[in-house]
Structure 1
């Protein structure tokens, strides 16, 4: 599982920093792409990565401000041209469907695939065989949501040699045992999954907070997360200005991570007042509260490992 920051700026693009968009590449067997927000120029940013737009399966929008949404119509249009003909799930606050369909209709944009719109509210908004996505409202100037992605635990590694000793033939029975099922062989031998498969692997938890000032729901979404992505529009000491516009500072993002018992914090959505040379200082501010704090820059990406027991 890999996360990419396609844009890390707030409000408007800068020469070396685009507006907000995040991509989450899922591991085997899905290998699909989920995106969170798509500000202006997002599809241009994708061209500088190995990510493939035709793999885009779901787009989650935190809120309708332009720096998080103006790139969506172009992104959806280009998806048709690069072989992305499978259905797309599109999530966002009330108004997301009207916003996107109006842009596509008035521009006579042809979409060759089905878009299913989900106007989200509090609770579980999406569930697949391997993932659950929960949304909670945050505190911003317009309706805004944060998302918590929880990966299901996966079966432990099979002890193939042990299965052979027990006389289990390779094939479907291996699969059933890997899923945790006990089986009975034709000779009556009971083979317990616990005796032949390792302990299930815990799933990962990724929290992506939209624009927000500090609030209880951000803390709830981030609880025990392996990775918290949180806006840090302003620096320490600028709390009054941050809250006036519905934003957070570096130390407030770090405080949320610490109080939620998250494992790692990546800050993004930096004000245009900060240039790239300022990021190290912003990172250090956060680390006074939460040592595992990092400031993202455009095209920054990391692997998200499975949690260790």
Structure 2
């Protein structure tokens, strides 16, 4: 799994930084990617990545401010034009359906795939056998959600060397043991699944927060995550301005990461007053509180390994 930041600027793009969007590359066996927010220009940024729009599976909108949303109609249209036929799930606050359907209707955009729009509340918004996604409201000027993506534990590896020593023939018996079923061999011996299957492989937890002031839900949602993405709209000398506009500073983001005991913090959503070369200052401020902090660099992959927090 990897994160790619397609935009890290707050409010409006500047030279060298686009407005907010984040791509999450899913595990290889899934072969898809998810998007979190879709600011104007997102599809242009995707052209500089390995992602194909036809493989976009889910799109999560944190809130309905334009710098997080205005690229959505273009993404939906281009996905159809590029031959996407698989269903696309779109999640976000109430009002998302009206925005999306109005834009598509007025522009006479016809999609060649099913679009399922889910206007969400707090709680679990998606779950299948591999992942779950939980949403929680944050503290911004309008409803703004954070998303907690949890990779569910996987079955441990088969001890094939031990199976060979026991004389278990490869094939269906291996699959039954892997699924937790005990197997009786032709000579009457019973091979127990618990003896030949390793410990479950813990999944990873990634938390992407929308715009927010410091708030209890941010800490709760991020608790124990392997990676937290948190806005840092302002340096800490502008804490009063951050509070006035419903945003957080670099230090406040680090305090949330520290309190939630996450593995890594990546800062994003930087005010347009900060040029790319200024981001080292925000990063350094945050590292004084939470060392494992990086200021996001656009179009750079951030690997999400299985860390000690998830083992």
TM-score, normalised to structure 1, is 0.98
Displacement of 1:83 in angstroms is: 2.3
Q: Over residues 61-105 of structure 1, what are the superposed CA-to-partner deviations in whole Å (9 max), with x where a residue is unaligned?
A: 000100000000000111112221100110000010110010000
Displacement of 1:303 in angstroms is: 0.9
Displacement of 1:180 in angstroms is: 3.1
Please name the residue that 1:69 is paired with.
69
Please name the residue that 1:6 is paired with.
6
Decide which moves more: 228-237 or 163-172: 163-172
Please name the residue that 1:293 is paired with.
293
Please name the residue that 2:107 is paired with.
107
Please name the residue that 2:194 is paired with.
194
Q: How far apart are the structure 2 equivalents of 1:104 and 1:172? A: 50
Could you say what the CA RMSD is over the residues aligned between the two structures, in angstroms? Answer: 1.1
Q: Secondary structure at the match of 1:91?
A: strand
Q: Is the 8 A contact 1:138 1:212 kept in 2?
A: yes
Q: Over residues 8-40 of structure 1, what are the superposed CA-to-partner deviations in whole Å (9 max), with x where a residue is unaligned?
A: 010011121000000001112102111100000
Decide which moves more: 190-199 or 61-70: 190-199
Q: Is the 8 A contact 1:203 1:307 kept in 2?
A: no
Q: Secondary structure at the match of 1:133?
A: strand
Q: Is the 8 A contact 1:21 1:35 kept in 2?
A: yes
1:140 aligns with 2:147: no
TM-score, normalised to structure 2, is 0.97
Please name the residue that 1:225 is paired with.
225
Please name the residue that 1:33 is paired with.
33
Q: Secondary structure at the match of 2:219?
A: helix
Q: How does 1:75-224 map to 2 (within 5 A)?
A: 75-224=75-224
Q: How far apart are the structure 2 equivalents of 1:186 and 1:82? A: 54
Q: Which runs of 4+ in 1 moved over 4 A?
A: none
Displacement of 1:167 in angstroms is: 2.4
Q: How does 1:266-305 map to 2 (within 5 A)?
A: 266-305=266-305
Q: How far apart are the structure 2 equivalents of 1:94 and 1:300? A: 32
Displacement of 1:198 in angstroms is: 1.7
Q: Over residues 192-228 of structure 1, what are the superposed CA-to-partner deviations in whole Å (9 max), with x where a residue is unaligned?
A: 2222122111100000000000000000110000000
Q: How far apart are the structure 2 equivalents of 1:21 and 1:288? A: 27
